[in-house]
Homo-oligomer: A and B are copies of this chain.
Amino acid sequence: METKQTDIKLKSPVRCIVKLGGAAITCKNEFEKINEANLITVSSQLREAMIVDDFKEQQVLDYNSFVVIHGAGSFGHFQASKSGVHRGGLNQPLVKAGFVATRISVTSLNLEIVRALAREGIPSVAMSPFSCGWSTRERNIASADVSTVVEALDSGFVPVLHGDAVLDESLGCTILSGDVIISHLAAHLKPQFVVFLTDVFGVYDRPPAEPNAVLLREIAVREDGSWSVVNPTFEDSDKQVEISVASHDTTGGMLTKISEAAMIAKLGIDVYIVKAATEHSLTALSGKLRDEIPEDWLGTVIRYVS
């Protein structure tokens, strides 16, 4: 994997990588529709979270410590799935046209997010993975030059990346998801914590809409990558097993989410999955959860235990 490891010498450490989930910032069921209210609140919360007190007790914006990645939501998905961009085959006119249409859709969302952040005074800069030269091989990252992201951070900007259609060495093309980008950046930039902003309160033991769905408040990840729910403690010990072995990810993508978050947590980076545009997301973004998780905080913390 070509990642230019040697170039990664950040002037100051990255504080947070934040994922704006597609479901949180767009209206899922309306074609290319932004959830304006959420986006405004999310941008405002990000600004608040970036303010740090300096030694003179003046408030300064600690801009250079955040990276934003967003999903596609109701942008891109339609164009990508209809043409099968994720399966590759650029020699097929439909796939090639789908690639172009997908990129137009996701970059137009990206532009609006950069604009919303800039309106809050955040020095956001679009960094589209395809343009940055990110590419895959069999859908795994093959080339991702993190140095351009580092240079933007070092210059005091907040890079804004997104899930994108990219070239794939074996398939021709595919979709690189925002979550894969986060894992990659987390491994190389070593942020203090990672926040996933989503449209539900966190990770549940079953689809959140189901009755009796239980919010998993804290998940512990061990050295070998295995994980277990430590809060709530299930009286029924079979329950824990049930969550761990639930196959084929029938629980609304829960297992995939936990597995990806666990890979990040294994690096010693706290991961918070929280509902966007709530008091809980602001708490998570501010970094306060690293010291203590308040009783009334709603969300899922996934962290490494040695």
Q: Are A133 and B147 neighbours in the complex by a CB distance under 8 Å? A: yes
What are the residues of chain B within 8 A of A118 when measuring CB–CB?
97, 100-101, 104
Task: Give residues of chain A (110-156) contacting chain B, Cβ–Cβ below 8 Å.
Answer: 111, 114-115, 118, 121, 123-128, 130-133, 135, 145, 147-148, 151-152, 155-156
What are the residues of chain B within 8 A of A101 when measuring CB–CB?
118
Q: Are A115 and B111 neighbours in the complex by a CB distance under 8 Å? A: no
Q: A135-B151, A167-B151, A167-B155 are in contact. Are A96 and B125 (CB under 8 A)?
A: no
Number of copies: 2
Contact of A151 among B104, B123, B133 (CB under 8 A): B133
Q: Which residues of A contact B (CB under 8 A)?
A: 90-91, 96-97, 99-101, 103-104, 107-108, 111, 114-115, 118, 121, 123-128, 130-133, 135, 145, 147-148, 151-152, 155-157, 167, 172-173
| 29 A-B pairs with C-beta separation under 8 A | A96-B123, A96-B157, A97-B118, A97-B121, A99-B125, A99-B157, A100-B124, A100-B125, A100-B157, A103-B125, A103-B126, A104-B114, A104-B115, A107-B111, A107-B114, A108-B111, A125-B130, A131-B148, A132-B133, A132-B148, A133-B145, A133-B147, A133-B151, A145-B145, A151-B167, A152-B167, A155-B167, A155-B172, A155-B173
